[in-house]
Amino acid sequence: MQGLQVQQLLNPRYRLLTHLLFWVSYTLFSLFSQYSYSDDFFRAWTYVLSILPVTILATYFFIYWVVPQMLDRKKYLSLFFTFMLMALIFGYLRRWSLHIIYVPTFRPEYNYAENPLFDVGKALTNAVQVYAVVFAAMIIKLLKRNYQQEQVAKDLAKEKLDAELKFLKGQIHPHFLFNTLNNLYSITMQESPRASELVMKLSTFLDYMLYEANVARVPLRKEVEQMKNLIELEQLRYGERLQVAFSTRGNISQKFIPPLLMLPFVENAFKHGVSREVELSFISIDFHVKENRLVLQVENSKGGVAPQNEEISKGIGLKNVRRRLELIYGPKKYDLQVFDEEETFMIILKIPLFEEGVSPVDRNKKTLVSKLV
């Protein structure tokens, strides 16, 4: 809430209001200081009104001309001489305003001969009082601009990560479609009656990828259903030479997950494991949900093929998943382990789950990830 209020005050639409608040605060502070000194409200008010126009003029001159023309351009020598020259000018202007407004009313005994208007020492003394306000305004100006620049940098970083996430998700869709169409082609070439069933499964799969998965997060239940759908599609292709063990533990309802995050691991088990086997092969998939954390274990057999982790590093799907995991959760919020043995290959993925409308990162007051998902 406080961050929102700060952003509202920094909004250009509220610039006039913030400036009015600044000068009202300054005027009240000066009035209180003068009243405590003279114990005369009208005298204090006259003094403050005498010097206020000069102070306002000096402040806006420095924050709207000196800062952008000299400080921002790092013209420090010009900045120094400008400060010295304007100190005399605004010091004389402040003394002049007091001489024509305040002194005639409240200092009739004032000796102009002993206190000439163009006294350099007293002009510099007045300049110090003017510059106190100028420096305060400049600090506020620089802090405001620094805050705005940080917000712009954060917005640019968010947009960049968001675009990368969308690009990676877009790559996953054709990747799954390409592999499933290969399966369909293989079966239709055999003129198998299972082709119509495969087409129906594929249509369901496409509906999920193109429409239901086009959101920040999907119910874990939906992702599990599509995982089962993928397994059935592959089992139609491999028949009896494939044994699949699928198990879930824990409550998967009311849990949410970024879409198409786990399917590539299962698809990889078929692509790099079972498809290379000529004999009986197996895939074991285990879900374990405990509170708001998911542990996914996928293990598959492999024959005499090249080390599978080398092929994983080259595969589009799993490379995208690794990158998506980093973007969504950060390097320390997820754990992906790869075990490449001689006869088996296994991955273990541990990720936090999202609740409906609430993410674990949000509860830690780190909202950037929830905005990117």
Phi, psi of 301 (to 5 degrees): -80, 160
User: pLDDT-based confidence at 275, cuts 50/70/90?
Assistant: low
Confidence at residue 320, expressed as pLDDT on a 0 to 100 scale: 72
What the block records as the tokens of 315 is 């595969």
Alpha-carbon gap, residue 181 to 53, rounded angstroms: 78
Alpha-carbon gap, residue 346 to 13, rounded angstroms: 58
Q: What is the CATH number of domain 157-372?
A: 3.30.565.10
What are the sequence ranges of the domains in the chain?
A: 2-118, 157-372
Q: pTM of the prediction?
A: 0.52
User: pLDDT-based confidence at 348, cuts 50/70/90?
Assistant: very high
Beta bridge partners of 350: 295, 335
- Read off the DSSP letter of residue 342: S
* Distance separating the N- and C-terminal Cα atoms of the chain: 22
Confidence at residue 318, expressed as pLDDT on a 0 to 100 scale: 66
User: pLDDT-based confidence at 294, cuts 50/70/90?
Assistant: very high
What the block records as the tokens of 23 is 């000068």
Q: In the sheet that 335-340 helps form, which strands lie side by side, from edge to edge?
A: 242-249, 281-290, 293-301, 344-352, 335-340
Mean pLDDT (the chain, rounded): 76
Confidence at residue 363, expressed as pLDDT on a 0 to 100 scale: 38
∠ CA 267-322-158 to the nearest 5 degrees? 130
What the block records as the tokens of 221 is 């239940």
Q: What is the pLDDT of residues 141-175, one digit of tens each?
A: 888 888 888 887 777 777 766 666 566 556 555 65
